[in-house]
Chains A and B, each alone.
Chain A
Amino acid sequence: MKYIIFLLLFSCLTLIANSQEINNQDLVNKISKNVRCLTCQGQSVYDSQSEFSESIKIIISNKIQEGKSEQDIYDFLVEKYGEWIIFEPKFNKNTFLLWVLPLLLFLVGGFLIFRNFKAVK
């Protein structure tokens, strides 16, 4: 009986550890897809197999194992290489037009369509 309980417990722990590993790998993939390859323009670290991209993947994985959050890892990379390294730029004074302009165009366009539609009616 004791042997069966031990086996069950062992399998459960192995399963938990395994799923944790899979989750970590998913997070490594997610982050590396949003990080720019240092040597190949326009490619992500996830897609690239350059020496530096491989090193960044290891860094990301190590940081996750240390318990760092996704944002901590982006902050670390931005501190080393600048905002450039992240594909999705943060909202700040340099990028606010990039974020606000599509929304503004959408609202103005919507308003014009609505007005025309009302006038036709």
Chain B
Amino acid sequence: MKKNFFILGIVSVIFFFFIVFYLGLDKENTYEPNIVTNKKIESFTAEKLFEDGQVKSDNIFSENKVYLLNIWASWCLPCQKEHDFLMQLKNTHSIEIIGLNYKDKLSNARKFIEELGNPYALSLRDKDGTIAILFGAYGLPETYIIKDKKIIKKYIGPIDNKSIKEIITYIK
């Protein structure tokens, strides 16, 4: 009786670990950071991309207005892909798009805009990438809808027609 109880115990333990490992290993183990929205954006000072001088974020984002902040770089291929969509958004809708150029060579960044068009009302530089971290960015491109100095929506990866339709609903 005691021996049967012992065997049953061993089998149960093995079965338990089998289930734990089976479920655990079957699950895709890629983590993604939380998308934190509805929080006040932090103040920062950034260099301008096309002219000398710096600008403070408090002077860029005003209350009661919707902005689009796009983090991009000339070395990022998906950024080239989404550029047409940003141009389309700029030409058809009245939304102020702020460009934040991430860790780029100044000449390459300027050339990128000169060749593909400038969708940005204001272009900023993030030389060491620390401003992007303030927004919780972890890849390029990333686009944020900012209203009342708060991030209300975040797009990871290039924006497309679907995201444009959604962005328009926030402007209205």
**Contact A82 B34, beta carbon cutoff 8 Å:** yes
B-chain residues with CB within 8 Å of residue A38 when the two chains form the complex: 33, 138-139
Flag whether B103 is at the interface (Cβ < 8 A): yes
**Contact B34 A84, beta carbon cutoff 8 Å:** yes
Interface string of A27-40 (1 = CB under 8 A from B): 00000000010110
CA distance A59 to B129 in the complex (A): 9
For B139, the closest partner residue in chain A by CB is A39
Shortest B121–chain A CB gap in Å is 25
Binds B, one of A1-9, A17-25, A48-56, A64-72: A48-56
Shortest B150–chain A CB gap in Å is 14
CA distance A80 to B138 in the complex (A): 10
B-chain residues with CB within 8 Å of residue A83 when the two chains form the complex: 34
> Given contacts A38-B138, A80-B134, A80-B136, are A51 and B129 in contact (CB under 8 A)?
yes
For B31, the closest partner residue in chain A by CB is A84
Flag whether A116 is at the interface (Cβ < 8 A): no
**Contact A55 B132, beta carbon cutoff 8 Å:** yes
> Given contacts A38-B138, A39-B138, A79-B39, are A52 and B133 in contact (CB under 8 A)?
yes
B-chain residues with CB within 8 Å of residue A106 when the two chains form the complex: none
Shortest A83–chain B CB gap in Å is 8
Q: How large is the interface on A (under 10, 10 to 19, 20 to 34, 35 or more residues)?
A: 10 to 19
> Given contacts A80-B36, A81-B33, A81-B34, are A58 and B138 in contact (CB under 8 A)?
no
CA distance A38 to B36 in the complex (A): 15
> Given contacts A51-B103, A81-B34, A85-B33, are A58 and B39 in contact (CB under 8 A)?
no
A-chain residues with CB within 8 Å of residue B39 when the two chains form the complex: 79
Shortest A115–chain B CB gap in Å is 15
B-chain residues with CB within 8 Å of residue A36 when the two chains form the complex: 31
CA distance A64 to B118 in the complex (A): 38
Shortest B60–chain A CB gap in Å is 20
Flag whether A41 is at the interface (Cβ < 8 A): yes
B-chain residues with CB within 8 Å of residue A11 when the two chains form the complex: none
A-chain residues with CB within 8 Å of residue B133 when the two chains form the complex: 52, 55-56, 59, 80
**Contact A62 B138, beta carbon cutoff 8 Å:** no
Name the 4 nearest CB pairs between A and B, nearest first. A82-B34, A55-B129, A38-B138, A81-B33
